[in-house]
Amino acid sequence: MDFIPVEVNERQGYIKTIEWHMMDKTKFFPLSMLSSFSVRCALYPLTLIKTRLQIQKHNDMYTGMFDAYGKIYKYEGISGLYRGFWISSVQIISGVFYISTYEGVRHILSKKNLDSRLRALVAGGCASLVGQTIIVPFDVLSQHLMMIGTVSKENKIAFNPLGVNSNPDRSKLALTIDVARKIFNVDGISGFYRGYWASLAAYVPNSALWWGFYHFYQDELLKVIPTSVSHLFIQTIAGTMGGFTTTIITNPLDIVRARLQVQRLESMGEAFRDLWREEGPRMFTKGLSARLVQSATFSFSIILGYETIKRVSVNEEYKEFVRW
């Protein structure tokens, strides 16, 4: 049997990171899916607002995050904040592959005695590669659904490049089938992978950096925060800080990804040029406030759920070494 090193907090002798081999997978997977769905359901409106802010030209529809929330709620109701949610919720399936890849790669790399932050960086990138390959078609669909029916300040239809019938009386299923049919008619199967490489360019570094920063901040916080403070609390703060840092670094890439998938641009270069022509230096902060709020709340919630589930799923022989 290969020796697998365990990260231990030297000050108190408890396990700092619960590793893959320490958990009961029959508990971990169903609880992980439930947690992921709950977080995505609660935070989906922020994702929708972020997408609309990124795709709009200048401030044609909204002047900012709060303006967008107010107008969507006023003119479209609660359902408007959840446009495309049921398609986007398929991400809980890709999430299983994502976290399995992340933990699996970390487990393999642990045998090489690599630094935990480097292991997290590499594993996060690999996990995103797998996750995006599964989820991009559903992302393309959900982003079109998020935008359909939006109007400009002049009350004109602001977005409908596929010419979809956006009658509000249509059922969600009928609208989704219509969008999928239009995408297929125009681009074939490749249309559902429009922006795939941009998604990898945005999300692989984002995922790698987020996990790397998470472990970095956790290690640094453990050095300065008293041992009496909850370890789970420290981890949620580290996750939130990691989300903030990563979002600021990768924001332009995420805008380019969204525009490639929805505005039917042909290349990342064209998307960058159009974005720079429209926004100038503001392209680095376009939609950033919504994305920072989304990232912070998402990171906090995901780490809270993820690390709690790991503690609940840990095998009996490790429980005495795990601190809440």
The CATH number of residue 40's host domain is: 1.50.40.10
Q: Is residue 14 situated within a structural domain?
A: no
Give dist(CA 113, CA 262) in Å, integer: 43
CA distance 190 to 183: 9
Does the residue 256 lie in any domain? Answer: yes
Whole-number pLDDT of residue 150: 61
Beta bridge partners of 314: 23
For the record, the structure tokens of 29 come out as 């997977």
Structure tokens at 225: 């925060």
User: What is the phi/psi pair of residue 99, to 5°?
Assistant: -70, -30
Residue 13 maps to a domain: no
User: Residue 173 corresponds to which tokens in the numbers above?
Assistant: 């299923």
163: left (phi over 0), alpha (psi -120 to 50) or beta: left
Global pTM value:
0.68
Measure the N-to-C terminal CA separation of the chain; round to a whole number of Å.
30
Please check whether residue 243 is in contact with residue 259, taking contact to mean a CB–CB distance below 8 angstroms.
no
Domain around 127: 20-321
Beta bridge partners of 216: none
Residue 132's φ and ψ, nearest 5 degrees, are -70, -35
Note whether residue 25 is domain-resident: yes
Query: What number of CA atoms fall less than 13 Å from residue 128's CA on the CB side?
Result: 22
Residue 314's SS3 state is strand
pLDDT 10s per residue in the chain (324 long)? 344 445 554 445 577 778 888 888 888 888 888 888 888 888 888 888 887 887 776 666 777 788 888 888 888 788 888 888 888 777 788 888 888 898 888 888 887 777 788 888 899 889 988 888 888 888 888 877 777 766 555 554 455 656 666 666 667 777 777 778 888 887 788 778 877 877 787 788 888 889 889 989 988 898 888 888 888 999 999 999 998 888 888 877 777 777 766 666 666 777 777 777 777 777 677 767 777 887 888 889 888 988 898 888 888 888 888 888
Give me the pLDDT at residue 217, please: 92
Count of H-run helices and E-run strands, the chain: 10, 0
Cα 171 off chain centre by: 27
Q: Which two tokens stand for residue 219?
A: 């290690």
- The CA distance from 111 to 290, in Å, is 40
Calpha distance 27→48 (Å, rounded): 31
Q: Does 27 reside within a domain? A: yes
The pLDDT score that the predictor gives to residue 11 is: 45
- Tell me how many domains the chain contains: 1
CA–CA separation, 314 and 310 (whole Å): 6
From the list 138, 145, 147, the residue with the least C-alpha distance to 93 is 138
Q: Is residue 236 part of a domain?
A: yes
Any domain includes 8: no
C-alpha count within 13 angstroms, C-beta hemisphere, residue 242: 33
Whether 6 maps to a domain, the answer reads: no
